[in-house]
């Protein structure tokens, strides 16, 4: 018999109980450390697998939406110009009448500011142009006038700002040549954003005559109903000497 057999019974019982407790602890700890792992997995391999599982969980976890502030796109120059040109209020009330009816034009017109030149071209910017003691013989307004604007070659005249609304498509005036050479008047529309649009050339006859309709090219600023915009008219003489009078704007919507 070995030494263990000859031990006192109490001592053998205590030693067996100690072995049993150690075995129990090993049985409890093993599943926690090796749960779900194959029998041949080493601790190093288990650590790598755990790291991969953690990385995968982080990738698959739902992410909170990031608050990204989008930088505003810079406004295009033409867009900024449109905003500047358009006012969200209508024009002031004005008087409209069929002033060109004798020439088979039944549209309603309103006089441009200072457009009859009876107030010393107030508000107009003149370069080489001057008032002349000569007026259109046609009574387009309340009474016949007494003056007009004379522009020799190289001279120009810029009207004050004119309020227009949706439906103002054109304008007309009365003009004549006062030189041996027939005058040539270059006409432009200038918008509040600084853009310019050539609207045609006028070659006045030797006698006072209404010009054809000249376009305001309103599509340049696309004013909406209830809104308005400011435009200016520029007349520049490139040949001869011309006189202009009675500048009227046509609101198509009043027909």
Q: Mind listing the pLDDT tens digit for each residue in 210-234?
A: 999 999 987 666 778 888 999 999 9
Positions of CATH 2.60.120.260 in the chain? 87-254
pLDDT of residue 225: 84
**pLDDT at residue number 226:** 84
pLDDT at 13: 59
CA distances from residue 23 to 11, 42, 47, 151 in whole angstroms, order as listed = 19, 21, 25, 119
Instruction: Write the CATH number of the domain with boundaries 87-254.
Output: 2.60.120.260
What's the pLDDT tens digit per position in 27-46?
Answer: 444 554 444 444 455 555 55
What secondary structure letter does DSSP report for 82? H
pLDDT at position 192, please?
86
Query: Which of the residues in the chain have pLDDT under 50?
Result: 1, 4, 27-29, 32-39, 65-73, 75, 77-83, 254-255
The rounded mean pLDDT for the chain is 80
What Å distances lie between residue 193 and 85, 100, 125, 203, CA to CA? 5, 31, 18, 29
């Amino acid at each position: 018999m070995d030494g263990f057999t000859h031990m006192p019974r109490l001592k053998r019982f205590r030693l067996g109980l100690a072995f049993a407790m150690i075995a129990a602890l090993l049985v409890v700890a093993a599943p926690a450390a090796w749960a779900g792992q194959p029998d041949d997995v080493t601790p190093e391999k288990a650590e790598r697998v755990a790291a991969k599982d953690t990385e995968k969980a982080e990738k698959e976890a739902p992410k909170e939406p990031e608050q990204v502030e989008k930088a505003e796109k810079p406004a295009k120059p033409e867009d900024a110009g449109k905003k500047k040109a358009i006012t969200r209020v209508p024009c002031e009330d004005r008087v409209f009448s069929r002033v060109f009816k004798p020439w088979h034009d039944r549209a309603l017109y309103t006089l441009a500011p200072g457009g009859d030149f009876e107030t010393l071209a107030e508000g107009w910017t003149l370069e080489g142009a001057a008032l002349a003691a000569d007026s259109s013989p046609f009574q387009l307004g309340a009474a016949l006038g007494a003056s007009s604007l004379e522009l020799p070659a190289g001279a120009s005249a810029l009207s004050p700002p004119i309020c227009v609304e949706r439906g103002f498509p054109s304008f007309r005036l009365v003009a004549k040549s006062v030189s041996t050479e027939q005058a040539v008047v270059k006409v432009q529309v200038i918008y509040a954003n600084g853009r310019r649009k050539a609207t045609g050339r006028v070659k006045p006859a030797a006698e006072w005559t209404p010009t054809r309709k000249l376009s305001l090219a309103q599509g340049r600023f696309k004013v909406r109903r209830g809104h308005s915009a400011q435009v200016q008219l520029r007349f520049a003489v490139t040949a001869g000497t011309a006189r202009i009078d009675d500048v009227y704007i046509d609101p198509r919507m009043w027909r």
